[in-house]
Homo-oligomer: A and B are copies of this chain.
Amino acid sequence: MTIKSFHPPLRTLMGPGPSDVSPRVLEAMSRPTLGHLDPVFVGMMDEVKALLKYAFQTENELTMPVSAPGSAGMETCFVNLVEPGEKVVICQNGVFAGRMKENVERCGGIPVMVQDDWGRAVDPQKLEDALKTNRDAKFVAFVHAETSTGALSDAKTLVEIAHRQGCLTIVDAVTSLGGSPLKVDEWKIDAIYSGTQKCLSCTPGLSPVSFSEAAVEKIRNRKSKVQSWFMDLNLVMGYWGTNAKRAYHHTAPINALYGLHEALVILQEEGLENAWKRHLKHHEALKAGLEAMDLGFFVPEDERLPQLNAISIPEGVDDAAVRSRLLSDWQLEIGAGLGQMAGKVWRIGLMGHACNERNVRLCLSALKDVLSRPKA
C-alpha cells in the first residue's frame, strides 16, 4: 500500500453545501496552529463570538461555534434544552424536521409533529392549532430555511405564536445564516444553530449557535445532566465563556476556527444586508435563465429561498446522469433531491462565495449543454 498526497480537482460547488469557499478562508486555515488556551487564540475566540453576534443579529452572550458540523449544532440545542418528558411541537416541511424529531426522541422528549407539504413554508395556522391541543408543550422547533426543499418560513411569526403559549423556540438556520434576512433578537428566537459551509463561504465542520437568556436559564436549571458530555453547554461555556480564564473542555479545532474568523470578517466587510441583497440579486438572474430553459421551481415564488433553488427535474431526464455529466464535463456540482424529493428535484445552491454572476452563467450554460446533448 502506498497512498499519495491528495490533490482535489477544482469544482464549482452549487449544491446544497458545502458551497465554494473563499480563497481567503482557505488561506487562513493554513496559518500556524496555536494552542487552544494561548491568550492570542483566546482573543481570536472573542472576535469570532463578536462576529457571530453580528451575523445572527443578536446580543446573546452565549453565541459561539460548536466544534463539529451542523448536525451537532442541532443536537447541541435539543440535548441541552429538552429534558425527559418534555413536549416539543415540530413543524415539518422537509427532511430536517425529521432529524429534529429523532433528536427529541433520543433526549427522552415527546415530539408532536405538525406536517406541512414539502416545498412549502411552514403554515403558522397549523402551528397555532397544534399548540391549542398541546397546551403542555415546552418548545416549538422549525426549520427557517429548509435545505431539502428550498422553502423559507416566516420565523418571526412562528416564534410569536410559540411565545404566546410560553414555548421556547429552537430554529434551524443552517442555510439562512448570511444568505437571507435573519434577526435573532428582533424575532426573539431562543435557540438557533447554523453551519459554516453554506452562506458563510467557509469549509464545513463548525456549527454556529446562539441562545437567548431564557434558553440559558432553562439549561442552567435542568433537573438532569445533559446526556452528552461533549455538547454539554454548562461545560462548553467554561471554555467559550466570558471568564478571562478559560477552562479546558475539549481541544478546539484551531485552524477551522481561523477559517470561520476570516469568513466572518469577509461578511462584516461586505455588510450583512448587502450579502442578503447579493443572494437575492443572483437568484433573480438564475431564475430568469432557468425559466428561459423551461425549468420550473418546486417552491412557490413567495416562499423561495434565494440561496437554495429546488428545480423540478423535467420528465424523461435521467437525474443521476445529468449530475454526473455536470461534474465530469463542467466540474460543476449541483445537489440531488433528499428524502422524498430524491429523483424529483435538483438543488442549485447560490451560497456565500459561490453566489456570483459568473457562477450563475456557468450553471445555466452547463445545464443547457448537458440537457441538450444526447448521451455520448
Partner-B contacts on A (CB < 8 A):
1-11, 13, 15, 17-18, 20-21, 24, 26-36, 38-41, 44, 47, 50-51, 54, 67-72, 74-75, 79, 99, 102-103, 105-107, 195, 197, 203-205, 225-230, 248-256, 258-259, 261-262, 264-265, 268, 327, 333, 338
Contacts of A4 in B (CB 8 A): 265
Contacts of A20 in B (CB 8 A): 33
In Å, the complex CA distance between A35 and B347 comes to 13
Of B11, B28, B38, B99, which contacts A32 at CB under 8 A?
A: B11
B11 A34 Cβ-Cβ under 8 A: yes
Copy number in the complex reads: 2
A3-B51, A6-B44, A51-B3 known; A36+B229 contact, CB < 8 A: no
A262 touches B5 (CB 8 A): yes
A72, closest chain B residue (CB): B230
Please judge, given known A-B contacts A67-B69, A72-B68, A251-B204, whether A258 and B8 are in contact too, CB under 8 Å.
yes
Can you show 5 pairs from A to B with CB atoms below 8 A apart? Answer: A3-B265, A8-B31, A69-B251, A69-B252, A253-B256
Residues of chain B lying within 8 A (CB to CB) of residue A225 = 105-106
Residues on the B chain within 8 Å of A251, using CB: 17-18, 69-71, 195, 197, 204
**Bound-complex Cα distance A197 to B99 (A):** 31
A229-B99, A253-B204 known; A32-B17 Cβ under 8 A: no
- With most chain B CB atoms within 10 A of its CB, the pick from A2, A9, A32, A264 is A32
Instruction: Determine the residue in chain B with the shortest Cβ distance to A15.
Output: B35
**For residue A1, which residues in chain B have a CB less than 8 angstroms away from its CB?**
50, 54, 268
- A229–B102 alpha-carbon span in the complex (Å): 7
Q: Would you call B327 and A38 a contact (CB within 8 A)?
A: yes
The distance from the CB of A155 to the nearest CB of chain B, in whole angstroms, is 22
Determine whether the beta carbon of B3 is less than 8 Å from that of A18: no
Residues of B contacting A99 in the complex (Cβ-Cβ under 8 angstroms): 229
Taking each of A10, A21, A72, A333, which has the highest tally of chain B beta carbons within 10 Å of its own beta carbon?
Answer: A72
Decide: A227 and B106 in contact? CB cutoff 8 A.
Answer: yes
Q: A26-B29, A205-B254 are in contact. List 15 more A-B contacts (CB 8 A).
A: A5-B24, A6-B47, A8-B44, A13-B34, A18-B34, A18-B36, A21-B32, A26-B30, A67-B72, A68-B69, A69-B250, A69-B253, A105-B225, A203-B255, A253-B256
What are the residues of chain B within 8 A of A228 when measuring CB–CB? 75, 79, 106, 227-228
Q: Pick the residue among B15, B72, B103 that contacts A250 (CB under 8 A).
A: B72
B32–A29 CB distance below 8 A: no
Query: Nearest chain-B residue to A4 (Cβ)?
Result: B265
What separation, in Å, do the CA atoms of A38 and B204 have in the docked complex? 14
For A105, what are the chain B residues with a Cβ–Cβ distance below 8 Å?
225
Contacts A21-B33, A26-B32 given: A253-B40 contact, CB under 8 Å?
no
CB nearest to A203 among chain B residues: B255
Query: Which of B41, B51, B230 makes the CB contact (< 8 A) with A8?
Result: B41
From residue A327, how far is it (CB to closest CB) to chain B in Å?
7
Given A26-B30, A229-B106, A251-B195, decide whether A68 and B68 contact each other with a Cβ distance below 8 A.
yes
CA distance in complex: A83, B74 (Å) = 23
Contact A35 B18 (CB under 8 A): yes
Closest to A250 in B: B71
By Cβ-Cβ distance, the 5 closest A-B pairs, closest first, are A205-B253, A68-B68, A71-B250, A30-B30, A26-B30
A17 to chain B, nearest CB (A): 6
Chain B nearest Cβ from A254, distance in angstroms: 6
